[in-house]
Amino acid sequence: MSTITRDELVHVARLAAIDLTEAETDQFATELNVILEAVARVNTIVTPDVPATSHPLPMTNVLRDDVVIPSIPLDEIEAGAIAFEDGKFLVPQILGEE
């Protein structure tokens, strides 16, 4: 795995609109290269007979099926509203626009 040069780090930081000091640039370049080395070591351990996983235990989706059920009647919703008109809640205007 390759290393990240100072120039590459400065370029990426500029693209991300991150201002780095000289000290931060040196520190992050060193830290990122340590991370890349760790990833490279993990990649050397991986064997073709071991499948990639995101979780050590098999998992299944536990969501229930969607079931269409009747909603609350509109007249009950309207009865609990402070202001309701044409099937919509009326709220105080908070912007000076019309």
CATH number at residue 16: 1.10.20
pTM (two decimals): 0.47
Query: Is residue 49 over pLDDT 90?
Result: no
| Any domain includes 79 | no
| Any domain includes 35 | yes
| Any domain includes 86 | no
Q: Considering only residues 3 and 25, tell me which one the structure prediction assigns the higher pLDDT.
A: 25
| Any domain includes 89 | no
Structural domain tally of the chain? 1
Query: Is residue 25 over pLDDT 90?
Result: yes
| Any domain includes 57 | no
pLDDT at 23: 95
Categorize the per-residue pLDDT at 52 as very low, low, confident or very high, splitting at 50, 70 and 90. confident
| Any domain includes 34 | yes
| Any domain includes 28 | yes
Query: Is residue 33 over pLDDT 90?
Result: yes
Cα atoms found within 13 Å of the Cα of residue 75, Cβ hemisphere only: 0
Query: Is residue 19 over pLDDT 80?
Result: yes
Q: Which amino acid is at 18?
A: I
Q: pLDDT tens, 34-48?
A: 999 998 888 788 677
Q: Residue 41 is part of which domain span? A: 6-45
Helix (H) or strand (E) holding 39: helix 22-45
